[in-house]
């Protein structure tokens, strides 16, 4: 007769209290009559890590302090937890070793401990950059505990001012008397704000009165019926000059004539077109 060995798992949840903590005990029974082996899972202990934000600083290194907590009251078994940093995801992920120092190690919770800390060195500089993040991952090494929040986020906040420089192209424009429209290209770094304004009544900003980074300013020039004129716009702190031709004007000579009571004839009357 063949012996058929059947295996079954019986999970018994006990509300028993061991050192003031609830435990889950799994009992495995085998059809082969092997002795059941109790396995302790978690013991009501959970490990979590916090998220930390700090300014980058301008030089040297500063320590970002992470806190690992154990959900326990009173006496509990010893729990050992490993931690390891990892670069954040692009495009705003911090990278080691340029932004921070790759760090790993262990924290040990003694029978009366429920909070432990460790530090990650952060590198300071004076470069303007985005706020960046990295992570710290936890892993249980020893002890009856489970992972609660197993990933901490370290945020390195930029505290440097952006240095902005601007240029425009072209820097001037010649326009006919009939007027017209035009555009000016602004070149600037991302995040650098600028404005555009007209300094002459015959020049009007039609688009791009403000912007950030690279951009375009549109403008129009009114028709000119008088003498040649010059006006300007201020764009991103730079001066843009408009030179406009004179309009079509006419003059007559003489402008007046006196006649006697008997009348008379003016034989020479000049009309001159002026530019």
In total, the chain counts a number of residues equal to 275
The DSSP line for 117-163 is: EEEEEEE--------EEEEEEEEEEESSEEESS-EEEEEEE------
Q: Going by DSSP bridges, is the β-strand pair 52-55/151-157 parallel, antiparallel, or unpaired?
A: parallel
Rama region for 237: left / alpha / beta (φ>0; ψ in -120 to 50; rest): left
pLDDT at position 1: 41
Q: What does the pLDDT look like over 207-217, one tens digit per residue?
A: 999 999 999 99
Name the CATH topology of 167-244: Immunoglobulin-like (2.60.40)
- Strand segments (E) across 158-275: 167-169, 172-175, 180-187, 193-198, 203-207, 210-212, 215-221, 229-235, 238-244, 249-253, 270-274
pLDDT grade, residue 249 (50/70/90)?
low
Q: Which residue has the higher pLDDT, 224 or 14?
A: 224
pLDDT grade, residue 43 (50/70/90)?
low
> Could you tell me which of 272, 223, 219 has the C-alpha nearest to residue 246?
223
Please determine whether the domains at 45-157 and 167-244 fall in the same fold group of CATH.
yes
- Per-chain mean pLDDT for the chain: 83
Name the CATH topology of 45-157: Immunoglobulin-like (2.60.40)
Determine whether 150 is exposed, middle or buried from the number of CB atoms within 10 Å of its CB (0-12, 13-18, 19+): middle
Under DSSP, is residue 254 helix (H, G, I), strand (E, B) or coil? Answer: coil
Query: Does position 82 have pLDDT exceeding 50, yes or no?
Result: yes
- CA of residue 180 relative to chain centroid, distance: 40
Sign, Cα dihedral of 85, 87, 88, 94:
positive
Q: Going by DSSP bridges, is the β-strand pair 238-244/172-175 parallel, antiparallel, or unpaired?
A: parallel
Under DSSP, is residue 53 helix (H, G, I), strand (E, B) or coil? Answer: strand
Q: Where are the domains of the chain?
A: 7-41, 45-157, 167-244
Other CB atoms within a 10 A radius of the CB of residue 156 amount to 28
């Amino acid at each position: 007769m063949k012996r058929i060995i059947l295996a079954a798992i019986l999970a018994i949840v006990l509300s028993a209290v061991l050192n003031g903590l609830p435990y889950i005990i799994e009992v495995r029974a085998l059809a082969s009559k092997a002795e059941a082996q109790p396995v302790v899972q978690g013991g009501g202990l959970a490990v979590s890590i916090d998220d930390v934000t700090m300014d980058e600083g301008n030089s040297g290194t500063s320590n970002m302090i992470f806190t690992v907590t154990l959900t326990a009251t009173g006496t509990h078994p010893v729990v050992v937890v490993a931690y390891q940093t990892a670069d954040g995801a692009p495009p705003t992920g911090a990278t080691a070793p340029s932004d921070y120092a790759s760090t790993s190690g262990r924290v040990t919770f003694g029978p009366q401990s429920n909070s432990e800390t460790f530090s990650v060195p952060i590198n300071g500089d004076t470069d303007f950059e985005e706020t960046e993040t990295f992570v710290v991952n936890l892993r249980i090494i020893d002890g009856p505990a489970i992972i609660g929040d197993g990933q901490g986020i370290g945020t390195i906040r930029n505290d440097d001012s952006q240095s902005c420089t601007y240029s425009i192209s072209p820097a001037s424009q010649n326009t006919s008397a009939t007027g017209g429209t035009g555009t000016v290209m602004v070149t600037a770094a991302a995040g650098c704000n600028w404005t555009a304004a007209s300094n002459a009544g015959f020049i009007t900003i039609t688009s791009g009165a403000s912007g950030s980074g690279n951009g375009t300013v549109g403008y129009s020039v009114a028709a000119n019926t008088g003498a040649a004129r010059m006006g300007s716009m201020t764009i991103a702190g730079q001066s843009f000059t408009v030179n406009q031709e004179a309009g079509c004007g006419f003059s007559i000579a003489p402008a007046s004539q006196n006649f006697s009571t008997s009348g008379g004839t003016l034989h020479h009357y000049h009309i001159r077109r002026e530019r």
